[in-house]
Amino acid sequence: MRQSSLLRFAKTLAAHYSNKQQAQKDPIKFARINIYFRPLLWDVFQGPGFYSEQSYDYAPWRPYRQGVHKLLASKEVFILENYSLQEPKRFAGAGFYPDLLNHLCADTLLPRRGCAMHFKEVKPNQYRGQVEPGNNCLVPRNNTMTYLVSEVEFDEKIWISRDRGFDPKTHEQLWGSKHGPLHFQRIVNLGDHVNESWLRSASH
């Protein structure tokens, strides 16, 4: 895959997204949520990466999901490897206060096996992705182990996502939105400094 394609994917991904419109239209079914995908310094992975954060609008300093992602590419797909933080509270709020990420380093990250997201470009600057095949992204919920099915579509204006958890034996849905996907608008671009140097470091 060309460097230019990887760069376009990264610049499109790097943003702050909000589902304010969806939540205002139907507040009983949808809470107001913010999603951040903030590019990391090249030194964290010795390559391109992101910090992601999801929080309810009323509790920005208490995100309910945080992740760190190494960006890779194969011939056919863009890959976001998934890592957990050993001390997530230390970085809570870094989506909108990026100085908290200054001390992030790779040896404090825990790989989440089977949880990489695979994306394809379905139209120019429009991407669709899902968890890597195999049903191996395991998530405990209510004292029960489930596997995650995550579906995402995004472009330069929107982010649409749906996460659901299923029983590994019966494949019955045990958690996740029963009202359809979450619809977000892109609020702020966070990819101004995402360039070829960011992909491979100015010294490489």
Query: Residue 81 in contact with residue 111, Cβ under 8 Å?
Result: yes
pTM, two decimal places: 0.94
Q: Which residues on adjacent β-strands are paired with residue 134?
A: none
143: left (phi over 0), alpha (psi -120 to 50) or beta: left
14-30: b (≥16 Cβ within 10 Å) or e: bbbbbbeebbeeeeeeb
Question: Which tens digit of pLDDT belongs to each residue from 20-62?
Answer: 999 999 999 999 999 999 999 999 999 999 999 999 999 999 9
CATH assignment of the domain containing 57: 2.40.128.590
Write down the pLDDT at residue 201: 53
Question: Which tens digit of pLDDT belongs to each residue from 59-71?
Answer: 999 999 999 999 9
- In the chain, % helix, strand, coil (3-state, to 5) comes to 20, 45, 40
Residue 33 CB coordination number (10 Å): 20
Would the CA dihedral through 109, 112, 113, 116 be positive or negative? negative
Report which of 30, 23, 9, 85 is spatially closest to residue 53, judged by C-alpha positions.
85
Query: Residue 71 in contact with residue 6, Cβ under 8 Å?
Result: yes
Instruction: Quote the domain boundaries for residue 49.
Output: 3-200
Write down the pLDDT at residue 200: 80
Query: Residue 69 in contact with residue 55, Cβ under 8 Å?
Result: no
Phi/psi of residue 8, nearest 5 degrees: -65, -40
The number of distinct structural domains making up the chain is: 1
